Structure 1
Amino acid sequence: MTIKRLVLILLTVVSMTFANDVDLDQLVVEAKKTNKHILVYLHITGCNYCLNMEEFTFDDEMVKAAIKKDFIFVDINVRDEGLVSFDGFKVSKLKFAKEIGYPMYPSCLFFDQNGELVYDEVGYRDENKFLETLQLVSSKAYNDDLE
């Protein structure tokens, strides 16, 4: 059994052991304390593009390092049980994705330290393109488009 497979099994067991709820409000507090952005990865079971994001993009060492350094990573399978708490509301994971306007998968949503959605990537991105996105968001270059 490969190390990669062992890690995936361990992550699955850990995620099943803990509550399936996601408290984005609490993560916003953590983002303020750590001066990081929140990266919400929305995906769905059976999506080949999602599997490619997980197997190739998120498994890339440079991508992992960039996420660890500058982001709080939140993995939301919209078909999983559990609720998402955000901005005072509690809804299912699927309803959360639909309510914020992202019923397409995979989607990567980037929230700032105030809980504002500041950037998004919809669809598969290879590791190089995704690294560019991570650098853009961590440097807050998305603000350049607003000025």
Structure 2
Amino acid sequence: MKNIFRMSLLALLIFWFNSSIAQTNFIKTPWEEILVKSENENKLIFVDLYFTGCFPCAQMDKTVFTDKKVSQLLNQDFVAFKSDIFKEDIGKRLARKYGVTGFPSFVILDSKGNTVDVNSGFKSVEELLSLLNAAKEKFNAKDFKSYSKALNIDYPEFYSDAYLKNKRKVSFEVVDSYLKSQKDWNAEIPFVIITGLRIGGEYVDYVISHADKLAKAYGRIPVRNYLSGMVNVKAKYFGTENNQKEFENLLEQVKPVFTTNEWDKFGSDFKKTFEKYKQL
């Protein structure tokens, strides 16, 4: 009798322990089936794009996607899917679609291919919950980004190769020639080429002057990620030229793209770069 009681107690403890460990159910199935599942269950798709060796990606797997509130929300209201952008074809194609540069990157879309949000970087539990709930509100309001619904569109070969074949070294002349042939740099393909391949020159000034429009169309984070790197390059240039006025004007132009907390960090970094090269 005692043995039966002990076995029952042990089984109960094992059940309690297992049920107490929350885990996001990332579905491993072909992308087409993810779309079907999303439609059949009337759920949004949450995509986590990562790569092996990405520290913040691993940290989110360990501390955020295992959180009970996060896993409950994702499992209940989303079809969660993750893919390695270097090892899996669908990961490469999704990275190409959104000009992914920051990791982990998150894409939220519906079963029809409408893009609700594009984001990146380590998110705390509360930050991810906020992102997910905001996405649900945007979806209900039919507030979609301007990306086309199709995953495969008419990308130039050099851009496809950069993501599908990891041939990231593309000459500026090749990209510049292509972009100069395009009528609208606000269009999806020019945008992901400029931001995804980190194209400089006059294209930096174009993104800065059109930052608000581009952020509304394709997401604030892709624009911010691009500018965070490119503004440092311009800060270096203005520093070597000792051009304080143009540098301050640059900061005023790009500041609205950053949140207050982000600007505390990035704005400080831009100023440090300027001062560093100003003294050389």
**Quick check: 1:39 aligned with 2:46?**
yes
Taking the aligned partners of 2:63 and 2:39, their CA distance within structure 1 comes to 30
- 1:115 Cα deviation after fit: 1.5
Match of 1:119 among 112, 117, 120: 117
- Relative to total residues, which structure has the larger strand share, 1 or 2? 1
- 1:70 Cα deviation after fit: 0.6
Superposition misfits of 4+ residues, deviation over 3 angstroms: 141-146
Aligned to 2:73: 66
Give 3-state SS (helix, strand or coil) of 1:46's partner.
Answer: coil
**Quick check: 1:102 aligned with 2:88?**
no
Which amino acid in the other structure matches residue 57 of structure 2?
C
Q: 1:110 to 1:44 in 2, by over 3 A?
A: same
TM-score of the superposition, structure 1-length normalised?
A: 0.70
Which structure carries more relative contact order (alpha carbon 8 Å, separation 6+)? 1
Taking the aligned partners of 2:113 and 2:51, their CA distance within structure 1 comes to 23
Give the length in aligned residue pairs: 122
Which amino acid in the other structure matches residue 67 of structure 1?
L
Contact 2:116 2:144 in 1 (8 A): no
Aligned to 1:136: 134
Aligned to 1:83: 89
**Quick check: 1:49 aligned with 2:56?**
yes
Contact 2:105 2:118 in 1 (8 A): yes
Structure 1 unmatched ranges of 5 or more: 16-21, 85-92
Give 3-state SS (helix, strand or coil) of 1:50's partner.
Answer: helix
Contact 1:136 1:142 in 2 (8 A): no
Identity of aligned residues (%): 22
Instruction: Please tell me the root mean square deviation across aligned C-alpha atoms, in Å.
Output: 2.8
Aligned to 2:258: none
Q: 1:142 to 1:63 in 2, by over 3 A?
A: farther
Give 3-state SS (helix, strand or coil) of 2:82's partner.
Answer: strand
- 1:144 Cα deviation after fit: 5.4
Aligned to 2:216: none
